[in-house]
Structure formats: structure tokens, C-alpha cells
């Protein structure tokens, strides 16, 4: 099965930029490889970020694109399995 499943749901997270700046974001989609989020900040392709989830989990990623108030990236560490 080569298909990558996307899980469409929304949850709040805190995005921490490489310079330490924190902002609230809404994660829209998650797959085994990456994520899409809604933000109101100045994010750019190539930015390395941390997503801090409400359960204390931290996911590291690199933004692959940013357009308007949406951005998407890949995980730098494999995330826990999403069912």
C-alpha cells in the first residue's frame, strides 16, 4: 500500500520558530510524513519549527510551503502513529 493516509481534523497547537518565537496555530491535516496548518504569522518555506501539542508532545518539522494563512511541512522525526 503506497497510499499515504491523511487524517483531516483540526486541533490547536503552539508553533515555535527557530528564533524561539511562539504562536498559536490550527493543525488541519496530518499524515505519516507531514502536516498542514493555519497560521497568522510570517512563516517561510524552509523554516524549521516545533509543534507543541496540548498533551505535551513536541513534533519537529520543516515547512515546505506557505501561502496566505496556510503552510505545510514535513516531519523531521517520525511522529507517533495516527489512527
List, for residues 22-70, the tens digit of each pLDDT value: 999 999 998 889 999 999 988 999 999 999 988 888 999 999 999 999 9
Residue 1: per-residue pLDDT? 46
Q: How many CA atoms lie within 13 A of 46 on its CB side?
A: 0
Three cell numbers written together for 66: 506557505
Estimate to the nearest angstrom the gap between the alpha carbon of 46 and the chain centroid: 13
Residue 83: pLDDT over 50? no
Q: Which of 1-10, 11-20, 21-30, 51-60 has the lowest mean pLDDT?
A: 1-10
| Torsion angle in degrees (nearest 10) through CA of 79, 42, 12, 73 | -20
Q: In angstroms, rounded to a whole number, what is the distance separating the alpha carbons of residues 57 and 46?
A: 22
Amino acid at each position: 500500500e503506497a497510499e499515504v493516509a491523511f487524517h483531516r481534523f483540526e486541533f490547536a497547537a503552539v508553533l515555535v520558530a527557530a528564533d524561539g518565537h511562539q504562536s498559536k496555530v490550527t493543525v488541519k491535516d496530518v499524515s505519516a510524513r507531514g502536516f498542514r496548518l493555519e497560521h497568522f504569522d510570517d512563516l517561510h518555506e524552509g523554516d524549521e519549527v516545533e509543534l507543541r501539542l496540548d498533551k505535551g508532545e513536541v513534533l519537529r518539522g520543516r515547512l515546505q510551503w506557505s501561502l496566505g494563512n496556510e503552510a505545510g511541512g514535513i516531519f523531521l522525526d517520525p511522529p507517533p502513529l495516527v489512527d
